[in-house]
Chains A and B, each alone.
Chain A
Amino acid sequence: AQSVAQPEDQVNVAEGNPLTVKCTYSVSGNPYLFWYVQYPNRGLQFLLKYITGDNLVKGSYGFEAEFNKSQTSFHLKKPSALVSDSALYFCAVRDLDNYGQNFVFGPGTRLSVLP
Chain B
Amino acid sequence: GIQVEQSPPDLILQEGANSTLRCNFSDSVNNLQWFHQNPWGQLINLFYIPSGTKQNGRLSATTVATERYSLLYISSSQTTDSGVYFCAVEGGAQKLVFGQGTRLTINP
A and B interact = no
